[in-house]
Structure 1
Amino acid sequence: MPLDIVTIPCLSDNYAYLVKGPDGVCLIDAPEAGPIVDALETRGWSLGAIMITHHHHDHVGGVAELRSKYNCHVMGPKAEESKLPPLDMALEEGMNGGNGDAYTVPLMVPGHTLGHMAFHFPNAQAVFTADSLMALGCGRLFEGTPEMMWNSLSKFLEMPDETMVYSGHEYTASNARFALTIEPDNEALQARAKEIEAKRAKGEPTVPSSIGEEKATNPFLRAGLQEMKDRLDMSDASDAEVFAEIRHRKDVF
């Protein structure tokens, strides 16, 4: 049974995701309850589990209401358990589970927060990245270091190009404008920026994207390329140092 993935806009620019597979329906992050309840009721679905990526309120604000309404299990990173709503299961890397396309691999991807987790569905070629890897960007380093975030992003670089990336925010248009300041001659980026502009003009989400697209256009994932190092006059710098420079430029963009 292939996964049925529903993208749910929440708050002003967040996304939550319903994932229906052979094990039932789970939710990736719960920014607010209302739109998620509407999406479930429209489809006649119940909710079996909530999988939290990190502790920020715009990813957990709807957990209590959804738990009360659906009596669902709540899972999230053990590393942030003290900052999260009460967990029925505290997750660490290696605690893989599920069947078929719903087989899930929790990945620790610290940087945005120290205990940030992503959820990889390798059989379905999907990964839910929240505020780690984003479409044409990455999360701001509120708690972690550049080295930490670069190591986290490197986990996504190892995934097949066909893997679809379901990130946590609609920041893509702004990310595209910044990316063009780093690589103005990148033809793939130029084309993608136009596609993003057209989607947003019609009110359409810019997620998901693919790992292949991100490798070709996302400056944060391209920090390890020699061509990027040369462009930034950092030819002899480490990958993490180049990433840190790009992150700094984005922070002041």
Structure 2
Amino acid sequence: MHAMDIHLIPAFSDNYIYLLRDPASGAVGVVDPGDPEPVIAELDRRGWRLTTILNTHHHNDHIGGNAALKERYGATVIGARADAHRIADLDTALDEGDRVSFGGDAGTVIAVPGHTSGHIAFHFPGQQALFCGDTLFSLGCGRLFEGTAEQMWDSLSKLRALPGDTRVYCGHEYTQSNARFALTIEPDNADLRARADEIGRLRAAGRPTIPTTLDLERRTNPFLRADEPSVQRTLGMEGAAPAAAFAEIRKRKDTF
């Protein structure tokens, strides 16, 4: 299968918008365009015309550019049926397990409530790519604005179960601060210490830390490791239900 072109577009202070292109068909998509201006600038620079807009959730820093981009290019807006009342320009409403076609590629919708109640992720297995918005971050996860810890743990468990070589494209560049927190949970995790050093080098050079991979997240992200005995020992919660341990990690991160 041909490789999808995926380009990171920085927006606001720490958002990432993803510009996609299917070389075979010429289809061009964008994931979570909170700000239309950098998207338009990049499309103009490359001479591409936008055909598809993918939204993971309803927050304005992820959908704020929908209307302007749809008006300018006639692009189709795709998002969660559960958020149809909160994404004004939605054309195609999808549920858990639905397929989304992009050029010659087919992706699957994964329902991942927790950060918001209607949050979804788009998994393109043929491209080894996951667009997960604000559910899973590099070394972190989203705050629980509309869901419970149990819902978020279930959502993260779905993502954790995907193939380890899956590349994770998340909504924000939070990795360096997430690493500092992760080291308070697993200070003796050698993979995490090495990764924190590499993150420091990348950010010092002004480079993104995204994409990460699920294999790397499974080895270093405390929010995916709430069922690990070493993590539960640090929390003083040995033998606890994973969702309860996750809730404690999330609580600590919220005040970190």
TM-score (norm 1): 0.97
- Equivalent residue number for residue 120 of structure 1: 123
Q: CA deviation at 1:99?
A: 6.6
Aligned sequence identity (%) = 51
Specify the alignment match of 2:144 in structure 1. Answer: 141
Would the alpha carbon gap of residues 101 and 225 (structure 1) be closer, same or farther in structure 2, given more than 3 Å must change? Answer: farther
SS of the equivalent of 1:192 reads helix
**Counterparts of 1:19 and 1:162, CA distance in 2:** 19
Once residues 128 and 231 of structure 2 are traced to their aligned partners in structure 1, the CA distance between those partners, rounded to angstroms, is 28
- Which residue is equivalent to 1:177? 180
Once the two structures are superposed, residues 218-248 of structure 1 have per-residue CA deviations (whole angstroms, 9 ceiling, x without a partner) of 0000111122212222112101001000000
CA contact (8 A) 2:67 2:89 kept: no
Shift of 1:100: 8.2
CA contact (8 A) 1:10 1:16 kept: yes
Following the alignment from structure 1 to structure 2, what is the Cα–Cα distance between the partners of residues 97 and 205? 27
Which of 193, 196, 199 aligns to 2:196? It is 193
Q: What's the counterpart of residue 204 of structure 1?
A: 207
Change (3 A) 1:133 1:101: farther
Q: In 1, distance between residues paired with 2:131 and 2:6?
A: 11
Equivalent AA in structure 2 for residue 12 of structure 1: S
Using the alignment, how far apart are the partners of 2:237 and 2:42 within structure 1? 47
**Per-residue CA shift, 1:102-122, capped at 9, x if unaligned?**
211011100000000100001
**Structure 2: how far apart are the matches of 1:218 and 1:101?**
33
SS at match of 2:19: strand
User: Do the aligned residues in 2 keep the contact of 1:101 with 1:122 (CA within 8 Å)?
Assistant: no
Matched length: 253
TM-score, normalised with respect to structure 2: 0.96
Partner deviation per Cα, 1:156-177 (whole Å, 9 max, x = no partner): 1111110000000011111000
State yes or no: 1:89 paired with 2:78.
Answer: no
Residues 41-120 of structure 1 aligned to structure 2 (within 5 Å): 41-98=44-101, 102-120=105-123
1:154 to 153, 157, 172: 157
- The separation in 1 between residues aligned to 2:46 and 2:127, in whole angstroms, is 21
Q: Within the alignment, does 1:40 sit opposite 2:14 as a pair?
A: no
Amino acid of the residue matched to residue 40 of structure 2? V
Secondary structure (helix, strand or coil) at the match of 2:69 reads helix
Where structure 1 has 5 or more consecutive residues not aligned to the other structure, the ranges are none
Q: Secondary structure at 2:83's aligned position in 1?
A: helix
The partner residue of 2:134 within 120, 123, 131 is 131
Kindly indicate whether the alpha-carbon contact (under 8 Å) linking 2:66 and 2:89 is maintained by their aligned counterparts in 1.
Answer: no
What CA distance in whole angstroms lies between the structure 2 residues aligned with 1:69 and 1:86?
Answer: 13
| Alpha-carbon distance in structure 2 between the residues aligned to 1:241 and 1:20 | 41
Residue deviations 1:124-157 (CA, integer Å, cap 9, x gap): 1110011000000000000100000000000111
Query: What is the alpha-carbon root mean square deviation over aligned residues?
Result: 1.2
SS of alignment partner, residue 28 of structure 2: strand
Amino acid at match of 2:175: T
Counterpart amino acid of 2:172? Answer: H
Cα contact 1:74–1:86 (8 A) shared by 2: yes
Q: Is there any run of 5+ residues in structure 2 with no aligned partner, and where? A: none
The 10-residue stretch of structure 1 (235-244 or 14-23) with the greater mean CA deviation from structure 2: 14-23
